[in-house]
Homo-oligomer: A and B are copies of this chain.
Amino acid sequence: MHAVIMAGGRGTRFWPRSREKKPKHLLDIVSDRTIIQETVDRIRELIKPKNILIVTGRKHARELMKQLPEIPVKNIIIEPVGRNTAACIGLAALHIQKKMKDDIMVVLPSDHAIGNPDKYRSVIATAARAAESEDALVTIGIQPTGPHTGFGYLEGGKAVGSIGGDEVLRVKSIREKPDLALARKFVKSGRFYWNSGMFVWKASTILREIEQYLPDLYSGLMTIKDSLGTDSEAKTVSRVYLRQKSISIDYGVMEKSKNVFVIPADFGWSDVGSWDALWDISDKDKKKNARTGSGMVLFEDTEGSLVYSPGKLVALVGMKDVIVVETKDALLVCKRGQSQDVKKIVDALEALGQTQLL
């Protein structure tokens, strides 16, 4: 079995901690380890480091290697430019097929958090068995805890069977991020799951599906395939990538394929998509306050708040539901529930030409 960790994100939503040079997955936001270190730690009990591939951009490769010394350097696959998940997954599938004729590939985002890793690994093992025996695209569907409008949804259909206590369902439909009314319907129906962005399939299966639904990408991948391991590899990958459209595997393949399964799962998953999401999964005191970083924090008449301080004393007085993030050159104070608007600050800094703060 191979794991493919997709590490291409910018993570502007964790500004001011996340920066262009250090996107979210390279930060120790959830624990003392960085999120990608946690991701590798979690999967390596199932898949050896020599079988873990990481796809990333050139500017983050060095930091990745530093953070993950156990991953062989040749397993770090560089994309010349980001072209969303379809190209990324296709490229990784080629690398797996070059190593061995075919294998199961477990596709994992680099920047999610999992509360129950044992359960997580057992679901992935189940998914691998289903992907192998059914030659299918297997997705992990998260039992929704509310009508979240920031996720895609998977509609579960007929049960195919049950492996090790986990049900395997056919996917009836895949839905893009819904509005609140629709999300509520989804959750109420009991048949919909959050699309976790974790996929399990054979390299040959996904390449076959790409051939069918994304023929342009497929032909580009075949050009790359011939160049792999040759002197012209980097140049060929660049040439092919620059011509590709940016398209997600969900939109490009999964929504069209007749061959998608889902395993409903509940293992404390979070996409850690914003400071709000981080507060959700953080340990909190009686007044629902959370603190991270090594700095001293004093809460006076304050509740529902999250403070990150790497060193200095942070004192909150009379605050309710606020996120405070202190860094060397920037400080964010944000109402909890509005952390998606942190992106507006990043946009403003970009417009102002304050590139050193991005």
Contact = CB atoms under 8 A, between A and B. Distances in A.
B345 A331 contact: no
Interface string A324-358: 10101111111101110110110011000010010
B333 A324 contact: yes
Interface string A302-318: 00000001001111111
Interface in A141-194: none
Contacts of A349: 298, 313
Could you tell me the dominant secondary structure of chain A's interface residues? Answer: mixed
Contacts of A334: 315-319
Contacts of A357: 313
A231 interface: no
How many of chain A's residues touch chain B, expressed as a range? 35 or more
Contacts of A285: none
A331 B332 CA distance: 11
A331 B316 CA distance: 8
Interface in A287-304: 296, 298, 300-301
Contacts of A315: 16, 330-334, 342, 345
Nearest to A322: B333
Interface of A: 16, 296, 298, 300-301, 309, 312-320, 322, 324, 326, 328-335, 337-339, 341-342, 344-345, 348-349, 354, 357
